[in-house]
Amino acid sequence: MRSFIFIISVFTVSACQPISKEKPLTSEEKLSMQLGNATLWFQQSAEMEASFLQAYHKGKMLLKIKMDTLSNSELKPAVVLDLDETVLDNSPYEARLFLEGKNYGSESWEKWCKEAKAEALPGAADFLNFADSLGLQIFYVSNRKIGVFEPTLKNLKILKLPQAEKEHLLLRTTKSDKTERREMVKAGHNVLLYIGDNLTDYDQKFADRDSTLGKSLVKKYRKELLHNFIMLPNPMYGEWESAIYGNEFTKTADEKLELRRRILNTAR
């Protein structure tokens, strides 16, 4: 999934961006500056690596348990995964945006996707090979647009990920809601586990976030989430931020910055 960024960066313009010291930052550049720490954490922290390894290890444990207790069914067992910041690491794209003082754009994003250079995230390949060894069908359900289908498939093949085949890659054609694509998989498969970096990678009901920004939904469906979904960390972008904007990305950069400031809790 794509969006903008929330975590506040401590970097200075002179150290990290090719922007004149004498030229005031634009609102767009201020938004971009806030991408720095998030991208650094995602790329360089040992905590990120440990988080992904731990999450995928739990995924293997859940699959093993579910396969061992699977009742007789005509439907083949399957696992459904998101791609970006779930299987594929796109943080180099985010780093480029930060260093250039820019924000996400569909043109620059598609250009990155067509490079087919994303690496596999920690634990992802190991988990996928484990699922494949158990006989599960693997489906990559991504909100990358259908126009980058071939380079995305190429990227998966370069990484030698299992079941990197056309029928196992479901990209976005019209809307970002993945419900229809998940239902297509469920029509012929028993989906044992979902994995993603957004709650809507599990169910679209998590898009309807109230003043708690979705935390009330997590509490309500806690047991279901713990049993059926692996949540991966992504501080760089995601629907957690769109909730802050009331899902209105047409807001100006100044409006977004102000909403970010308002939502911070200073415990006063």
Q: What is the pLDDT of residues 22-31, one digit of tens each?
A: 789 999 999 8
- Tens digit of each residue's pLDDT (9 = 90 or more) over 8-66: 333 333 344 454 557 899 999 998 998 999 999 999 999 999 999 999 999 999 999 99
Return the closest-CA partner of residue 32 out of 64, 1, 65, 9.
9
Which residues span the domain enclosing 188?
46-89+118-244
- Tens digit of each residue's pLDDT (9 = 90 or more) over 231-248: 999 999 999 988 999 888
**Domain contains 154:** yes
Q: Report how far residue 232's alpha carbon sits from residue 198's, in angstroms, rounded to the nearest whole number.
A: 8
**Domain contains 218:** yes
Residue 69 has pLDDT above 90, yes or no: no
Single-letter amino acid code for the residue at 19: I
Percent of the chain beyond pLDDT 70?
91
**Domain contains 6:** no
DSSP state of 206: G
pLDDT value at position 23? Answer: 84
Residue with tokens 């049993």: 227
Question: What's the pLDDT band for 115 if we cut at 50, 70, 90?
Answer: very high
Q: Count the domains in the chain.
A: 1
Q: What is the rounded average pLDDT of the residues 182-190? A: 97
pLDDT value at position 72? Answer: 72
Q: What is the rounded average pLDDT of the residues 107-133? A: 98
pTM equals 0.89
CA 218 distance to own-chain centroid: 17
pLDDT value at position 18? Answer: 54
Residue 158 has pLDDT above 80, yes or no: yes
Return the closest-CA partner of residue 121 out of 97, 170, 145, 86.
86
The token pair that represents 30 in the structure block: 């201020």
pLDDT, mean over the chain: 91
**Domain contains 161:** yes
**201 and 86 Cβ atoms separated by less than 8 Å:** yes
Q: What is the rounded average pLDDT of the residues 68-95? A: 93
Q: What is the rounded average pLDDT of the residues 122-141? A: 98
CATH number, residue 176: 3.40.50.1000
